[in-house]
Amino acid sequence: MITSKFSHAIKGFSLAASYLLLSTALIFSIHVPKLWSASPKDISNAALKNVIYLLNANTSELVMLLIIAGLTALFATIERKDADFCGVPLSRVSLRRFLQGCFLSLLGSALLTLFEYCYGGFRIIGLVWPPATTAMVALLSTTWLLVLGVTEELWFRGYALKRLEENFGWWPAAIMTSMAFAMCHLHNQGENFVEVALLFLSGMILCSLRRVSGSLWLGIGAHTVADLAGSILGSPGSDLSHSPTQIVYLSVKGSPLINGGDNGVMFSLPGIAMQFLLLLLPITFFSMKPAKAAV
């Protein structure tokens, strides 16, 4: 009996590890051509350059989603697992969970904006782009970050999380997949170890959202809107070269601990606290037991 349980655990770990390693290798090794411009750096018009960047980001993220969805389907088929196991059941309840997640992050962003306006000297001082370009940037940012949210949730909290949970329990599974989630972000330009630590904690909470709701949809909604909030709650100042989704110029006054300083209000102490507190709220509305039915 012990030998059987041990071999079953080894098999489960091997499958989850193979999935994560193979998907990571494919994501970071496949180069997606820039379909919308051979050399966008040579474009002098800043608005056009930013729109082209976002078009390429959408294309690249869609390819990544197809890779992750394909690998998920492959591993699920090998084990004869369904969409519920992978966290993506399709139903009216799934749409409701997605919208609840969106509302959760939207509420947190609104409360943070109000707090920073009152106590952090946060002010919106103008649009970055002309109105038509602003609308285009907002639309492309929304589609990009929606696909990004689906990709990352399916990648780290779909098949791999459930496979590890079945063999080792929820806590070890959540810790392992959240570590993988955080470490993969080291590849991003400008990420530091403090931000990676925060990403690990975010990963743990997003794992909790799957556990308490029974699917990935609540986390996908929360993840997408939290990322999209950066278009408003982004970086202060005029240098927005690392903030392609930002549509407004911002200014802040006072302590960087309160308003985030050059990093933006999302990285202030109130910003970090608000993000985690709002993501923890669903735990008060859902049972902590793993959902029996897909929702």
| DSSP string for residues in the chain | -HHHHHHHHHHHHHHHHHHHHHHHHHHHHPPPP-SS-S-GGG---HHHHHHHHHHHHHHHHHHHHHHHHHHHHHHHHHHT--HHHHT---SHHHHHHHHHHHHHHHHHHHHHHHHHHHHS--EEEEESS-HHHHHHHHHHHHHHHHHHHHHHHHHHHTHHHHHHHHHH-HHHHHHHHHHHHHHHGGGSTT--HHHHHHHHHHHHHHHHHHHHHSSSHHHHHHHHHHHHGGGTS---SS--TT-TT--EEEE--S-HHHH-GGG-GGGSHHHHHHHHHHHHGGGGTS-SSPPSS--
Bridge partners of residue 126, in order along the sequence: 249
Give a yes or no: residue 293 inside a domain.
Answer: no
More confident residue, 213 or 286: 213
Assigned domain for 111 exists: yes
User: Is the residue at 185 inside a domain?
Assistant: yes
142 in a structural domain = yes
Residue 76: band (very low, low, confident or very high) from pLDDT cuts 50, 70, 90? very high
- Chain mean pLDDT for the chain: 84
| Confidence category of residue 105, pLDDT binned at 50, 70, 90 | confident
Please name every residue paired with 251 in a beta bridge, in sequence order, or none if there are none: 123
Range 121-150 average pLDDT: 92
Q: What's the pLDDT score for residue 158?
A: 95
Domain-embedded: residue 124 = yes
pTM above 0.85, yes or no: yes
What is the domain count for the chain?
1
* pLDDT: which is higher, 191 or 178: 178
Q: What is the mean pLDDT of residues 230-241?
A: 76
Q: Reply yes or no on whether the pLDDT at 141 is more than 70.
A: yes
> Residue 88's pLDDT band (boundaries 50, 70, 90)?
very high
Q: Which of these ranges, 125-134, 236-245, 284-293, has the smallest mean pLDDT?
A: 284-293
The model's pLDDT over 19-52, given as tens digits with 9 standing for 90+, comes to 999 999 999 888 777 766 655 555 558 888 889 8
The least confident of 107-111, 117-121, 276-280, 285-289 is 285-289
Confidence (pLDDT) at 239: 73
Mean pLDDT of 44-62: 88
pLDDT of 292 reads 46
Q: Is residue 292 part of a domain?
A: no
The DSSP bridge partners found for residue 123 are 251
Structural domain including 242 reads 2-32+44-80+91-284
The lowest-confidence range among 143-147, 152-156, 228-232 is 228-232
> Is residue 293 predicted with pLDDT exceeding 60?
no
**Greater pLDDT, 256 or 221:** 221
pLDDT confidence of residue 285: 61
CB 200 within 8 A of CB 182: yes
Q: Please state, in angstroms and rounded to a whole number, the distance separating the CA atoms of residues 61 and 25.
A: 15
Q: What is the pLDDT of residues 208-225, one digit of tens each?
A: 889 988 899 999 999 999
Confidence of residue 121 (pLDDT cuts 50, 70, 90): confident
Average pLDDT over residues 92-102: 91
pLDDT band at 279 (very low <50, low <70, confident <90, very high): low
- In terms of pLDDT, which residue wins out, 218 or 5? 218
- Does residue 155 lie within any of the structural domains? yes
Report yes or no on 227 lying in a domain.
yes
Average of per-residue pLDDT across 138-166: 95
Between 188 and 80, the more confident residue is 80
